[in-house]
Amino acid sequence: MKTVFVLNGPNLNLLGLREPGIYGASTLQDVEQLCEQAAQRNGFALRFHQSNHEGELIGWLHEAGALRREGKLAGVVLNAAAYTHTSVALMDAIKGADVPVIELHISNVHAREAFRHHSYIAPVARAVMCGLGVQGYSLAIDAVAQCLHD
Q: Which residue in 23, 83, 120, 137 is the catalytic one? A: 23
User: Which neighbouring-strand residues pair with 47?
Assistant: 5
β-pairing, 127-130 with 101-105? parallel
Q: Which residue in 62, 83, 105, 117 is the catalytic one? A: 105
β-pairing, 3-8 with 101-105? unpaired
List, in order, residues 6 or more apart from 20 with CB less than 8 Å away: none
List, in order, residues 6 or more apart from 141 with CB less than 8 Å away: 4, 6, 35, 38, 39, 42, 44, 77
In the residue annotation, 118 being an active-site residue is answered as no
In the residue annotation, 137 being an active-site residue is answered as no
How many CB atoms neighbour CB 79 within 10 A? 25
Please give the Cα distance from 10 to 37 (Å, whole number). 24
Which sequence positions are flagged as catalytic? 23, 105
